[in-house]
Structure 1
Amino acid sequence: MRIAAVGDNCIDDYFGTGEAYPGGNPVNVSVYAVRLGLAASYTGAVGSDQNGRLLRRALAGKGVDVSHLHTLPGRTAVTRVELCKGERVFREYDEGVLADFRLSGGDLDFLCGHDLVATGLWGRIEGELPRIKARGVPVAFDFADREQGPVLDAAAPYVDYAFFSRREDSGELRDFLRAFRQRGPKVVVATLGEHGSLAWNGEAFIPCGAVRCPVVDTMGAGDSFIAGFLAGVLQKKPLAACMEQGARSSSVTLQYRGAW
């Protein structure tokens, strides 16, 4: 079973501590997928700087296939992060060379050789999803906390598993999940932090509690949930079991600094 993660990456630079860690939604998903025993690749672009070399080495060291990680002249993306009582707060973001990255035909063929493609809001590949879906490859997409916008409009019809980040369950959230599923996805999931997660499959809402654990840093918690969930999908587990696997994966990430 192979997951292709594609899209954005960055170096998470922690304000005031001097710490810096590789990250980015699809990058994190690829690392967590390997941690769960799957094969995973990451397709994207880093700059020709020290951060780019760091990110490439770190991914390869975790066992992620980086054969389609491109190096472009310029800066690797950087996100400034502040840690407030264990909760990460994103500050400035420098997109660097990712602003110019586009998938090649070879990249697309490579992605479609996997069992599932995972990407997200800042990955800049929503326009390529029709071609991926036409080749029969399931697509997972992390929409983060966005409820509307051009990326949602472009991606929704071609996504099988849609993920959103919210703070708690509510009637408004359930209405949103119902409405969004009608736009294309088979399953829509909202991660709810300490309140667990909630999924809508068109027939029933499936809740799942969070796994209680010491929280050191929330960076990557949602991405590790996604990786655990998708591992369950590829293992053909029931929806509730996929969510439980996502919660367990997230609890591991919460107990250390940085995404991985």
Structure 2
Amino acid sequence: MTPEIVVFGSLNMDLVVRVARAPRGGETLQGLSFFTNPGGKGANQAVACARQGARVAMVGCVGEDDFGRTLRNALAADGIDVAHVRAVEGSTGVAVVMVDAEGENRITIVPGANDLLKADPEALAGHYLLLQCEVPMAEVVLAARAMRAKGATVVMNPAPVCQLPDELWSLVDIIVMNEIEASELASLTVTDPASAANAASSIRRRGPSTAIVTLGSQGVLVADDAGCRHFPALEVRVVDTTAAGDTFIGALCAARAAGQSMDAAVLRGIQAATICVTRSGAQSSIPYLHELDAR
């Protein structure tokens, strides 16, 4: 069956260290724990879509190594089509993640095989295309162009933050950003719902019909043809914020692919991200649809 959502993006193995606090420059601290966990913004978002009930295909690259095999098998275990996850010479991408006692993370990425991803039009067929910035931007543009020509809705998560090519702005339907990304792209300082609304309105003028800004504990701001709306966050004790944004985006896309309104999709994204931050790790923290229904 044709997938509802195609994710064109990165796959990384996360190397996670939990610390009481982040070390200062030149300082050595003893960590509290270490574990590995499948990650990468593309793969995380694919998992989040699939666990919310969508049919998902992943397009990406891994190395011919144990990390690559583990990442591919993890996606397949979630029912994701991995026919277009290629194994290439070299190492699989890795992310070194440091998580402090407040649940805040600091991440360093080594792209590895992700830098070799190519946009193959034959691998790009679905109703939604989900994109990020952890793979070559020229290929991101080609993927968006190919899918938009087939009538797909293009969703962009500009993370890690970078300036997007002019052509890509014209191909994106929905853009989902955190406050740092919105600040950079709109050249405005985003600190609260009011400033997020200004940034979202500015960004919509560049092409996307819908601009969404996630604000952590301050909730989510949505700007589209119906106007600007603010959705408050749900209060919860934060353990680890890793993959919270990816979880929000995946849940939102799955809800839209299932025919839900934008507001209902945003609420599902908030619910999913709220559960995510109460757990450690990337893909290990992403909830399933039945967990949201139970709440």
Normalised to the residue count of structure 2, the TM-score between the two structures is 0.80
| 1:143–1:152 Cα contact (<8 Å) kept | no
Give the CA deviation at 1:169.
Answer: 2.1
Unaligned runs of 5+ in 2: 18-30, 180-189, 284-295
Q: Distance in 1 between matches of 2:194 and 2:160?
A: 17
Alignment of 1:100-249 (within 5 A): 100-104=116-120, 108-112=121-125, 114-124=126-136, 125-128=139-142, 129-144=144-159, 146=161, 149=163, 151-166=164-179, 168-249=191-272
Q: Distance in 1 between matches of 2:211 and 2:173?
A: 8
Counterpart code for 1:153: D
Q: Name the residue aligned to 1:81.
A: 97
| 1:164–1:189 Cα contact (<8 Å) kept | yes
Q: Name the residue aligned to 2:292.
A: none
Alignment deviations for residues 160-189 of structure 1 (CA, whole Å, 9 cap, x no partner): 110111174254432221121112111100
Q: Distance in 2 between matches of 1:191 and 1:67?
A: 32
Q: Distance in 2 between matches of 1:165 and 1:153?
A: 21
Q: Distance in 2 between matches of 1:178 and 1:202?
A: 10
Change (3 A) 1:78 1:44: same
Counterpart code for 1:131: A
Change (3 A) 1:241 1:162: same
Q: Distance in 1 between matches of 2:11 and 2:177?
A: 19
Q: Distance in 2 between matches of 1:32 and 1:44?
A: 16
| 2:127–2:151 Cα contact (<8 Å) kept | no
Q: Distance in 2 between matches of 1:205 and 1:170?
A: 10
Give the CA deviation at 1:97.
Answer: 1.7
Counterpart code for 2:6: A
**Worse overlay, 171-180 or 203-212:** 171-180
Alignment deviations for residues 133-162 of structure 1 (CA, whole Å, 9 cap, x no partner): 11111111101373x62x353421101110
Unaligned runs of 5+ in 1: none
Q: Distance in 1 between matches of 2:49 and 2:124?
A: 15
Counterpart code for 2:227: A
Q: Name the residue aligned to 2:13.
A: 11
Q: Name the SS of the counterpart of 1:66 in structure 2.
A: strand
Counterpart code for 1:126: V
Counterpart code for 2:97: V
Q: Distance in 1 between matches of 2:246 and 2:225?
A: 24
Give the CA deviation at 1:225.
Answer: 0.7
Normalised to the residue count of structure 1, the TM-score between the two structures is 0.91
Q: Distance in 1 between matches of 2:160 and 2:74?
A: 28
Q: Distance in 1 between matches of 2:165 and 2:195?
A: 18
* Percent of matched pairs sharing the same residue: 26
Alignment of 1:62-101 (within 5 A): 62-84=78-100, 85-90=102-107, 92-101=108-117
Q: Distance in 1 between matches of 2:109 and 2:131?
A: 19
Alignment deviations for residues 72-115 of structure 1 (CA, whole Å, 9 cap, x no partner): 0110011111001211111x3211122222123xxx22322x11
Q: Name the SS of the counterpart of 2:81 in structure 1.
A: coil
**Worse overlay, 115-124 or 63-72:** 115-124
Larger-Rg structure: 2
Residues matched between the structures, number: 253
